[in-house]
């Protein structure tokens, strides 16, 4: 596939049609609640680094209850050429959802726990290093995807993950609280409980007119192919294939599943022994349940079935360090 990479991004010259103020304007959208560390000092350091490259940096703090999408819409309407999202996968999703098919480019300062898209774009997982990398990054067009109209840039997940999130949030409310140590304990205990009480759901998925039904604890719909073997689970080497990849876990007993998962992690077992794997630009997942919990880039939503998944090729402009190593 032909590479979709623009010339190197510059805070000084973005387009001859833009005003000087627009050319040097960046909005830094900072979510202080993401991740595990105090972020106030980091925010000022990132702002300073971006400013040192000639940009006027407008910092917008994400507050509880804030409508990020509406905020981004307003920024796009004002003509800002770059919005840098500092936060986790949920924050990045909210910003990206409002930037589809827009000229404004998305930059990422990863301050969350997993930082999937940042890693796939070769953005350093360090706030200051990420800011330096963005100053010399290239603009690239990558795919997004939707499930029943909800945008995801990484994946949407059924079964285990939404179940685990419900258990973890219940533990935070009733037992451990939302302090950083409390959240960590809730994660550990929530994973153990969810693995022991593994959820099961029957899904029927349709690809290119063919139907397949399976009782499974886990379904992952990936925006482009995800690595599903070895310890770098979920990584993507290509972000612009225009394809969705679905991984449906095969039926196993609890102990069979444990052995297979360990085998896949250690690279001794092929992913096909654990998953049924198909790819297509769009497909539908049906269930006997009227609604299903769906993990969308790490945030859980209740969506009505059937779940219609669609790839959106090249719909999102991003800043990508070493873009040649990221796109096909």
The enclosing domain of 215 has a CATH number of 2.60.200.40
In the listed set 136, 166, 199, which residue is the last one of a domain according to the structure?
136
Examine the domain organization and report whether 156 and 293 are in the same domain.
yes
Same domain for 60 and 166?
no
Nearest CA to 75 out of 49, 53, 105 is that of 105
Give the tens place of pLDDT for each residue, 136-162. 888 999 999 999 999 999 999 998 888
Same domain, 125 and 158: no
**174 domain-assigned:** yes
Shared domain check, 173 and 83: no
pLDDT in tens, 231-255: 677 899 999 999 999 999 887 667 7
Q: Tell me, yes or no, whether 290 lies in a domain.
A: yes
Position 304 in a domain: yes
Alpha-carbon distance values, 220 to 142, 163, 323 (Å): 20, 14, 26
Which residue stretches of 24-148 are H helix? 40-52, 68-77, 89-99, 116-120, 127-134
Do both 165 and 297 map to the same domain?
yes
What CATH number does the domain containing 61 carry? 3.40.50.10330
pTM of the predicted model, to two decimals? 0.83
315/147 Cα distance (integer angstroms):
15
Q: What is the pLDDT of residue 8?
A: 36
Q: Which secondary structure element, helix H or strand E, spans residue 26, and what is its range? A: strand 25-30
User: Where among 106, 136, 166 does a domain terminate?
Assistant: 136
Residue 219 shares a structural domain with residue 305: yes
Residue 157 shares a structural domain with residue 303: yes
Number of domains forming the structure of the chain: 2
The secondary structure of residue 165, as a DSSP letter, is: H
pLDDT of residue 324: 55
- List of the chain residues with pLDDT < 70: 1-24, 34-39, 208, 230-231, 252-253, 256, 260, 263-265, 323-328
Q: Residue 21: its pLDDT value, please?
A: 41
- Among 101, 136, 171, the domain boundary falls at 136
Q: Is 314 left (phi over 0), alpha (psi -120 to 50) or beta?
A: left
Is the domain of 156 the same as that of 275?
yes
pLDDT value, residue 4:
39
Q: 196 in a domain, yes or no?
A: yes
**pLDDT value at residue 328:** 54
Q: Which domain holds residue 70?
A: 5-136
């Amino acid at each position: 596939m032909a590479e979709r990479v623009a010339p190197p991004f510059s805070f000084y010259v973005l387009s001859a049609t833009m005003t000087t103020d627009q050319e040097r304007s960046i909005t830094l959208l900072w979510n202080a609640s993401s991740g595990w560390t105090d972020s106030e000092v980091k925010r000022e350091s990132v702002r300073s680094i971006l400013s040192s490259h000639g940009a006027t940096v407008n910092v917008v703090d994400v507050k509880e209850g804030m409508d990020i999408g509406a905020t981004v819409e307003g920024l796009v309407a004002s003509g800002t050429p770059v919005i840098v999202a500092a936060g986790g996968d949920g924050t990045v999703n909210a910003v990206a959802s409002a930037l589809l098919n827009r000229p404004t480019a998305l930059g990422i300062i990863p301050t969350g726990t997993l930082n999937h898209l940042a890693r796939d774009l070769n953005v350093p997982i360090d706030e200051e290093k990420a800011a330096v990398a963005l100053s010399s990054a290239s603009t690239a067009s990558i795919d997004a995807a939707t499930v029943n109209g909800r945008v995801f840039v990484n994946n949407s997940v059924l079964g285990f993950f939404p179940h685990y999130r419900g258990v973890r949030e219940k533990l935070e409310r009733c037992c451990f609280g939302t302090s950083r140590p409390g959240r960590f304990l809730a994660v550990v205990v929530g994973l153990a409980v969810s693995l022991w009480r593994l959820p099961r759901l029957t899904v029927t998925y349709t690809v290119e007119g063919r139907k397949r039904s399976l009782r499974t604890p886990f379904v992952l719909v990936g925006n482009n192919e995800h690595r599903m073997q070895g310890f770098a689970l979920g990584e993507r080497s290509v972000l612009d294939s225009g394809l969705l990849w679905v991984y449906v876990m095969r039926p196993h007993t609890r102990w069979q599943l444990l052995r297979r998962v360990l085998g896949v992690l250690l690279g001794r077992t092929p992913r096909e022994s654990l998953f049924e794997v198909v790819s297509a630009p769009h497909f539908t997942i049906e269930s006997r349940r009227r609604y299903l919990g769906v993990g969308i880039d790490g945030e859980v939503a209740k969506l009505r079935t059937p779940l219609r998944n669609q790839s959106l090729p090249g719909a999102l402009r991003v800043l990508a360090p070493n873009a040649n190593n990221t796109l096909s």
